């Protein structure tokens, strides 16, 4: 067999996830004793709360270790329905909820059931690294809508309108966003919703950073505005960020019944249910008051402010203050380096690891994660400050 026919065509254009690769490289170097400052992390540095771990241990000891229904246990799905209602003014029945192996899996499932080969997914740029790759795995194409710092890296309804073609099937929205920390206002989302309804475009609303917003900003769920946009939206969320549970792999979505049914069939034949023990842990997480999540958010706000104060003092780095999530997206164009060179040299010369903007479609930016302690932020910023003046 010829080398180039061994793999399916759909895999040939897929790249590894640079965010995952760089994060694990930084962790490995650290475990080998290198004094690495890790600004690459895409996960909260907090431990999963004990009461959640205890629920998982109880699940194991009581023998809750078998298959569950593919789309999640009735107990968990009921809590997810209640969460959607309470936090997002969204009415989903349990059979409209699919629990999967992380929000990443939920988004992939949603794209898989919506996109045909020649369809286009509209993706605001900068984008989370996996969106275009997932569209590629569906043999569809990604069409990017460029944004700028002047509009906090958000698309407007006008931008959206300009990019719609006869092939457009889906818009992927992410608020609060990774990597720019943008949070869409209710009015901005309403204008976007109107166009999607007019043009019959589905929305995948990735709300995984919902709970991490700053300065009193409130998250809005686009599907909650009216029945028309509800019928076109798949609302994605999960516990990775809000409960510091990235490794447990629990994400979920709420969708119109026909889409939820299709995803249930897909999951039946691909992964079956998400881990039974992690589902019990998720039940504990969603049943408890949100003290942990509020504390996490307050801590991230403090770190954001510290990082912003430090960055203000560095001449060749520009940034916009993130409104949510835990990343600072910085413009490095004044350094004259592209983002890969910048991040490679910073790692090799100063042992600071971060994500090059090219991973998110912007080669003149870098992403600094502040999911790390203020002491680490201080150490890393001292190194960056010194290094930049030498460039």
Q: Which of 48, 106, 178, 343 binds ligand GLU (CB under 6 A)?
A: 178
User: x-or-dash pattern for ligand GLU, window 89-108, by CB under 6 A?
Assistant: ---------------x----
- Buried b / exposed e over 328-364, threshold 16 CB at 10 Å, is bbbbbeebebbbeebbeebbeebbbbbbbbbbbbbbb
Max Cα distance, the chain (Å): 60
Q: Interface with ligand PMP by CB under 6 A: which residues? A: 42, 102-104, 128, 174, 178, 206, 208, 238, 240, 246, 251
In the complex, minimum distance from the CB of residue 324 to ligand GLU, in angstroms, rounded to a whole number: 14
Q: Is 177 in the site for ligand GLU (CB under 6 A)?
A: no
In the complex, minimum distance from the CB of residue 390 to ligand GLU, in angstroms, rounded to a whole number: 28
Task: For ligand GLU, give the closer residue by CB, 362 or 388.
Answer: 362
In the complex, minimum distance from the CB of residue 202 to ligand PMP, in angstroms, rounded to a whole number: 17
- Spatial strand order of the sheet with 318-319 comes to 318-319, 327-331, 365-369, 355-356
Residue 120 touches which of ligand PMP, ligand GLU, none (Cβ within 5-8 Å per kind): none
> Smallest Cα–Cα separation from 266: which of 132, 143, 101?
101
| Residue ranges of E strands in 267-310 | none
User: x-or-dash pattern for ligand GLU, window 28-57, by CB under 6 A?
Assistant: --------------x---------------
With the C-alpha atoms ordered 186, 192, 196, 197, is the resulting torsion angle positive or negative?
Answer: positive
What is the DSSP pairing of strand 318-319 with strand 327-331?
Answer: antiparallel
DSSP state of 328: E
> Smallest Cα–Cα separation from 324: which of 360, 285, 296, 362?
296
In the complex, minimum distance from the CB of residue 212 to ligand GLU, in angstroms, rounded to a whole number: 12
CA-to-CA distance for 8 and 244, rounded, in angstroms? 36
Judged by CB under 6 A, the stretch of 17-25, 141-149, 229-237, 287-295 that binds ligand GLU is 17-25
In the complex, minimum distance from the CB of residue 314 to ligand PMP, in angstroms, rounded to a whole number: 25
Per CB under 6 A, residues contacting ligand GLU are: 17, 19-20, 42, 104, 128-130, 178
């Amino acid at each position: 067999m010829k080398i180039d026919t061994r793999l399916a065509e759909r895999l040939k254009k897929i790249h590894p996830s640079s965010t995952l690769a760089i994060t694990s490289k930084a962790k490995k170097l650290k475990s080998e004793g290198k004094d690495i400052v890790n600004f690459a992390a895409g996960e909260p540095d907090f431990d999963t709360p004990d009461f959640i771990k205890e629920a998982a241990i109880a699940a194991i000891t009581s023998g809750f270790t078998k298959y569950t229904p593919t789309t999640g246990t009735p107990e968990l799905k009921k809590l997810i329905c209640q969460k959607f209602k309470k936090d997002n003014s969204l009415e989903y029945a349990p059979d409209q909820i699919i629990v999967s192996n992380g929000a990443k899996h939920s988004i992939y499932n949603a794209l898989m059931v919506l996109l045909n080969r020649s369809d286009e997914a509209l993706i605001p740029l900068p984008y989370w690294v996996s969106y275009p790759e997932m569209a590629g795995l569906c043999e569809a194409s990604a069409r990017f809508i460029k944004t700028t710092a002047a509009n906090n890296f958000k698309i407007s309804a006008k931008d959206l309108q300009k990019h719609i073609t006869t092939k457009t099937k889906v818009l992927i929205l992410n608020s609060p966003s990774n990597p720019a920390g943008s949070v869409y206002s209710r009015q901005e989302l309403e204008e976007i919703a109107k166009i999607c309804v007019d043009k019959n475009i589905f929305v995948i609303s990735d709300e995984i950073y919902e709970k991490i917003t700053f300065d009193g900003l409130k998250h809005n769920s686009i599907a909650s505005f009216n029945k028309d946009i509800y019928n076109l939206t798949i609302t994605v969320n999960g516990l990775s960020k809000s409960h510091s549970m990235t490794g447990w792999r629990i994400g979920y979505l709420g969708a119109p019944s026909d889409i939820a049914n299709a995803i249930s069939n897909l999951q039946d034949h691909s992964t079956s249910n998400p881990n039974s023990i992690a589902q019990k842990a998720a039940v504990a997480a969603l049943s408890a008051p949100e003290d942990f999540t509020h504390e996490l958010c307050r801590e991230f706000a403090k770190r954001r402010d510290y990082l912003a104060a430090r960055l203000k003092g560095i001449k060749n780095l520009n940034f916009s203050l993130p409104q949510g999530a835990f990343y600072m997206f910085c413009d490095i164009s004044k350094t004259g380096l592209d983002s890969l060179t910048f991040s490679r040299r910073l790692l090799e010369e100063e042992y600071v690891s971060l994500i090059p903007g090219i991973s998110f479609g912007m080669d003149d930016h870098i992403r600094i994660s502040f999911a790390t302690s203020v002491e680490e932020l201080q150490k890393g910023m001292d190194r960056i400050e010194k290094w930049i003046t030498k460039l």
